[in-house]
Chains A and B, each alone.
Chain A
């Protein structure tokens, strides 16, 4: 009965995986459609009182339709099950999410855009987050700005574009649009995704087609690696310049512990999650400082080190300097050094920062700029 049908569905799904690995995408898809149909039949036969089982198998059948690439069938089955069955809350939520995701992509497609299936959620937690998820605008704008720059860099890495060292805007700025969905109550939680603009498809196709899902997946993976194993981030990213940028960027994304003490990033599609904590930023900072010390050892003469604290008031990208105003209101100008990236420090304008600089002749050169704790 239902056991038999489910076992057959799982076997056929496993065969689909084998076909996919062998490069037969079409054959794999046909088998996934068969598996989804078998699983849906199994669901129908499960006794009504086994609510948890019915929920698990309904979600499984919908998931198989999604794997087969047929969102319309997945959403149709989800809607039918939701209307007819009294499933446990977790299963209902999953099915509603499938319908919402499908509708969102359908809406994007109607204007020719492509929306990422695997977007990710960001939850901000800490003293700055008030009752019902209210949050100071400045706090959330900083984090959203940092995440936007992060997504562009991940897109450039995924497309194997040369590392952007100049002050120029991302080449992808006209191709992809980082999007944010409404927050839900609790912590301050928002969903980040990527939409691809249709007219840009031809421009990038000579290199490689942009896959918004791949960008979302890589964006999550890189943060997860930076949190769980910062020492091996380089092995994951494989490009030293990008590794350096991500190390600094994710250090900046990590909460300082003052207004925010936790940022959780999760991928609803895979149920994976990772947490950026103040300690995550400190670990990355230790790596950055160690790299700076190692680089200094190779210099013939040791430059004088200067540290400054104040509010970042101006960034001049063309002339390559920043201005910091200290506690007494005095302005200090620093040239932008090699390890300071404009899309890492840009979001920090009007925030308190700590600058590590070296004195080179009459100039101060900023080697590192980070949000002050």
Chain B
């Protein structure tokens, strides 16, 4: 992932978080397959007016902010790194791989890469709404291709991040 894309998505995340919280913020992370949740402390700079104006489009900000949060959480909790953004028709948002599989290889290798579908919710009425979205996204990514895949949903209002393997 390029530094520019990384910075841009991180800024989107600060705008989304800034609508509901102040830094530092506790993120409650769960993986469907595991009973234990995980709490992560997230420190972030409050966005200035310029950043807020740049991310005035709520949909764009929520989508890119969710990318930043999901990819960061996957790296910290599962050691997964982004390999590439997927194309429009390719079934998910990102390809990620375990850090140790990013070995030098002159040919592309997506054989064991995980397709990740990401969804962001600015407001979230309930935990049920979050899990409902997670189920929908899991089904979507399952239908969209073969091999390992997962969905990750970020609810900025409730500081929740939930994952489920497809």
Which residues does A use to contact B, with CB under 8 Å? 1-4, 6, 10-11, 14, 42, 45-47, 50, 52-53, 56-57, 59-60, 62-64, 66-67, 88-91, 94, 97-98, 228-229, 231-232, 266, 269-275
Contact = CB atoms under 8 A, between A and B. Distances in A.
B133 interface: yes
A232 B123 contact: yes
Interface in B53-101: 84-92, 95
Interface majority SS (helix, strand, loop, mixed), chain A? helix
Given A10-B84, A273-B136, A98 B111 contact: no
Given A14-B2, A88-B146, A90-B144, A59 B87 contact: yes
Given A98-B89, A271-B140, A273-B136, A46 B108 contact: yes
Contacts, number: 97
Contacts of A60: 86-87, 90
B84 A94 contact: no
A63 B107 contact: no
Contacts of B123: 229, 231-232
In order of increasing CB-CB distance, the 6 nearest A-B pairs are: A63-B87, A90-B145, A1-B106, A60-B87, A53-B110, A88-B146
A66 B140 CA distance: 22
B121 interface: yes
24 contacts: A2-B108, A3-B108, A10-B85, A11-B2, A46-B108, A47-B107, A50-B108, A50-B111, A52-B111, A52-B113, A53-B108, A56-B90, A57-B110, A63-B90, A67-B88, A94-B90, A97-B89, A228-B121, A228-B133, A229-B121, A231-B123, A232-B123, A271-B91, A272-B140
A52 B110 contact: yes
B91 A90 contact: yes
Contact of B147 (A52, A63, A66): A52
B97 to A, nearest CB: 12
Contacts of B35: none
A52 B110 CA distance: 6
B106 A62 contact: no
B129 interface: yes
Contact of A3 (B95, B105, B113): B105
B34 to A, nearest CB: 26
A98 B121 CA distance: 31
B42 to A, nearest CB: 24
B109 interface: yes
A83 B146 CA distance: 20
Contacts of B90: 56, 59-60, 63, 94
Interface majority SS (helix, strand, loop, mixed), chain B? loop
Given A88-B146, A228-B129, A269-B88, A275 B136 contact: yes
Interface string B112-133: 0100010001010100010001
Given A42-B108, A50-B107, A53-B108, A62 B89 contact: yes
B111 A53 contact: yes
B88 A270 contact: yes
Given A59-B90, A91-B145, 19 more contacts: A2-B107, A3-B105, A14-B5, A42-B108, A50-B111, A52-B147, A53-B107, A53-B108, A56-B90, A62-B89, A63-B90, A90-B91, A90-B144, A228-B129, A232-B123, A266-B140, A269-B88, A269-B89, A271-B117
Nearest to A283: B125
A206 to B, nearest CB: 28
A309 to B, nearest CB: 31
Contacts of B117: 271
B106 A2 contact: yes
Contacts of A271: 89, 91-92, 117, 140, 144
B158 to A, nearest CB: 13
B146 A89 contact: yes
A53 B123 CA distance: 37
B108 A63 contact: no
